[in-house]
Every structure is written in structure tokens, then in C-alpha cells.
Amino acid sequence: MALKTGASFVKLNAFRRAARLLSTRTRPETAQNGGGKIAKFPGARAPYVSEMKFFNETSYEPIPIYRVMDNNGQIIDKNEEPNLDKATLINMYKTMVQLSHMDKILYESQRQGRISFYMTNYGEEGIHIGSASALSPKDLVFSQYREVGVFLYRGMTVTELVNQCYGNCEDPGKGRQMPVHYGSKHHNMVTISSPLGTQMPQAVGAAYAYKRVPNNDRCVICYFGDGAASEGDAHAAFNFAATLDCPVIMLCRNNGYAISTPTSEQYRGDGIASRGPALGLHTLRVDGTDTLAVHNAVKRARDFTVANNKPVLIEAMAYRVGHHSTSDDSSAYRSVEEIQKWTKDESPLQKFKLYLEHKGYWDAETEKAWSKEARDTVVRTMQEAEKKKKPNWKEMLEDVYYEMPPRLQKQMKQMEEHLKKYPEHYPLNQHESD
């Protein structure tokens, strides 16, 4: 039977071929994608071209840097001067000064062996205070580690920060983390962790949760550095924020270095800002040493994210004046002249102070008085923090789970027994006891 049908099949084909040869009608026209002009692929809608051309990081102008003041603290365009009252401006500046004193003394204290580790914020005070002053206290903050000014502006005291550095019994983190890993539920500052960039997709998720709350008026801000922006988590965060419409501000502190790695070895594109439009984010690049510019940028971003439930990427350009941390000596990889230049000419404190002085809100006397007070606050706080004991050693095994599981209870008992036998070999007197 198969042979029979095969034969008839063959015969039909031959007939068709003959018919086609005889006709003058050509194959029907295939429809052209987008009429041949603008192609509509599911992945992209773009014009067709017949000339090939590479696109690279120089095909587009670098994203310009928004600023409000020049290095003399003079407003360049009056329309851009933010409408901040005297009290706010003074508070902003005082916080920056407090921060720089805290940095100086805590850095020294590490050198003296009083705390184990510290990271300074020199050169980035403008980013901290400029951004913090534009946020609502209810906005959730995810940070990396060089945003202490944000914590201070939010209302965390030097005492609370120093307690964390000492890991004493009043540290809300219960002494479990290294210094500078601050957090405060009360101030809506998520506890810092060491892995870089991990906070970025988390900030996006938190923003999504906020978006779903009826009558939401909060946004989320996420700080990260130029180095952290190379992590996969950064790309994930940008992409998720854009595709899932999240009211989040992604603020990059581009300070030129990731420990010893300069940005020329961190990326080849136009900074971090260029990645924003590529992933569908509204993007701003701003002068991070200009406190007022940062303020304006974050304010604009905040209004936009909350109103539209869309993310904003801000790249704040700055310079990391200090070493990466107390474990770093940056003279090993950069010149003293370079550091001097940025310290002298581009200091955010200097710029802002000059601005305040122009406005008649500040002078040499108030500077001297506040400097002294800021310094004394830190010194006094350090002395008190040092006297406080570390938390009870049992805190080492608490909070691993919501409820301590049986195995951990057993381990707690084992350690208790051990300490009863060998107490003199453990620093029990430095810790609170039962």
C-alpha cells in the first residue's frame, strides 16, 4: 500500500513542478519587517541601516555633571539655588564638621589600638549631607560603608556610632560586627554588611514592597561605590529596578578608587551613569563635592521616584581624600600631590562654608566654636564608650535564628562548661556577666 501512495505522491509533485515552470508568476512577496524602515523585533525597535558602524563609549558625549556652586562657594545660576532655610543649612554644615572630627579622632584611635578598624569619609561629606537633607526620615536607606554623614544627619548620635565601633554592650549590633557596620531601625538605616553591592538588589526589593503599600509616600535610597558597581548585584539591581518599576534612588559615590584600584581599571565606559540609560533608568550625574547640587539632585530624584514608581540612578563624582581604611596606606598607589589637590581645591566642607559665609550665616568665630564642640563631643564619647563593657559572651549565639534551636542550646551549654573550667584564659572581665 505504501508503494501505491508513493507513486501517486510523486506524480502530483511532477505536475506541480511543470505547472510552475510554465507560469510567469514569481513567488509571492514576503512582508518586510517594519516596512523596511524601522524594524520591529521583540527585542528592539530600531531603524535598519546598510552601513555598519561600531558604537562604543566615545560615540556619545559623556553625561554632563550638574553643579550649583563653583569652588568658591558662589552660586552659578541663581535659579538652581535650593530654598533651604538658615537653620537647615547650618545644621547641614555642622554635621559635616562633626563628621570630619569624628573621622579624625576615630582613625587615630585605631592607630592607638583602641578600636580595631575604621573608615573615614573625607571628601564625600557633601554627598552624605546633600543627599540626606533631601530625603524624608521615613525613606529607607541601604548603604555600603562610607556614608556616615547620612547616619549623623538622620539623628544618630556620635555616641551610638562610637558604641558600634567599640562593640560595647550598648551597640545595637551587640558587638557582632567590625566597626563602621552601623545600622539603626529607628532611623530607617539598614544595617551595613561587608559584601559589596549586595545591598543594591535588596534596596530594589524594599522599594517594591513600599510601592505596594496604599498611599505610599516613601522611597528607598541605596548608596554604593564605583568599585561595588562592578559587582553582578549592581547590574541585577538596575535591571530589576527598571523592569519592576521600583521607587528607588541608586546613588553611586564615584570617588575614583576602590581601595587601590583606580576607575581606569574598574571600567571602560563613561562611569556608572552611562549604564543607567542603557538599562532604562532616569539618570543624573552630579558634582559630589557640591553639597547643594547633590541636594537638588536627590530632591528631584525623590520627587520623581515617589510620583512615578520608577528608579533613578545618580552618579555623584568625588574624590576619596582619605585612605580606604585603617588597613590601607594610599601613598602606595597614588601621589601626595594628587591628594593635596583634591583636598585643597575640591573640599566639600570648604565650598559649603564659603557659601554659608557669603550668605552671612557663618563666620570664623562660629567655625572655631563649633569645631571645638564637635571635637570635644567625640573625645568625651570615646572616653565613655571605652569604659563600657562588651556584651555578655552568650550574645555570640543569640539571634542566629528567631528561636535558638536545640543544637545551639547544646553548644551554649558546652561553652558554659568550658568557661567554668578555664575562665582565666578568656577575657571575661571585658564582657558583661550574667
Partner 1 sequence: MTSLSTKSIVFHKLIRNVNNYAKRMSSHFIYYPDKERPVDGETTKMNMMQAINNAMDITLKNDPTAVLFGEDVAFGGVFRCALGLQEKYGKDRVFNTPLCEQGIAGFGIGLATAGATAIAEIQFADYIFPAFDQIVNEAAKARYRSGGEYDSGALTVRAPCSAVGHGGLYHSQSPEAFFAHVPGLRVVVPRGPIAAKGLLLACIRERDPCVFLEPKILYRSAAEEVPVEDYTLPLGKAQTLRVGAAATLVGWGTQVHVLLEVADMARDKLGVTCDVIDLQSILPWDEETVCNSVKKTGRCLISHEAPLTSGFGAELAATVQEECFLHLEAPIARVTGWDAPFPHVFEPFYLPDKWRCYQALIQLINY
Edge-to-edge strands, sheet with 140-142: 140-142, 220-225, 248-254, 312-317, 282-287
DSSP 8-state symbol, 382: H
Q: Least distance to partner 1 from the beta carbon of 388, Å?
A: 15
Q: Is 233 in the site for partner 1 (CB under 8 A)?
A: yes
Q: Is 185 in the site for partner 1 (CB under 8 A)?
A: yes
Task: Count residues near partner 1 (CB under 8 A).
Answer: 49
Contact region for partner 1 (CB under 8 A) — 75-83, 110-118, 153-161, 182-190?
182-190
Beta bridge partners of 249: 221, 312
Amino acid at 146: R
Q: For partner 1, which is the closer residue by CB, 270 or 398?
A: 398
Q: What is the CA radius of gyration of the chain?
A: 30
Q: Site map for partner 1, 99-138, x if CB under 8 A? A: ----------------------------------------
* Member of 173, 276, 311, 348 binding partner 1 (CB under 8 A): 173
* Member of 35, 64, 155, 405 binding partner 1 (CB under 8 A): 405
DSSP 8-state symbol, 63: P
Residue 364: CB partners within 8 Å, gap ≥ 6? none
| Spatial separation of the C-alpha atoms in residues 319 and 256, rounded to whole Å | 6
* Member of 36, 42, 47, 406 binding partner 1 (CB under 8 A): 406
Residues serving a catalytic function are 108, 194, 324-325
Q: Least distance to partner 1 from the beta carbon of 219, Å?
A: 11
Helices (H), 155-260: 158-166, 199-212, 232-243
Q: Least distance to partner 1 from the beta carbon of 246, Å?
A: 9
Find the length of the chain. 434
| Spatial separation of the C-alpha atoms in residues 14 and 22, rounded to whole Å | 13
Amino acid at 403: E
Q: Is 201 in the site for partner 1 (CB under 8 A)?
A: yes
Residues lying near partner 1 in the complex (CB under 8 A) = 140, 142, 171-174, 176-177, 181, 183-185, 190-191, 193, 195, 198, 200-210, 212, 220, 232-233, 235-237, 239-240, 243-244, 398-403, 405-408
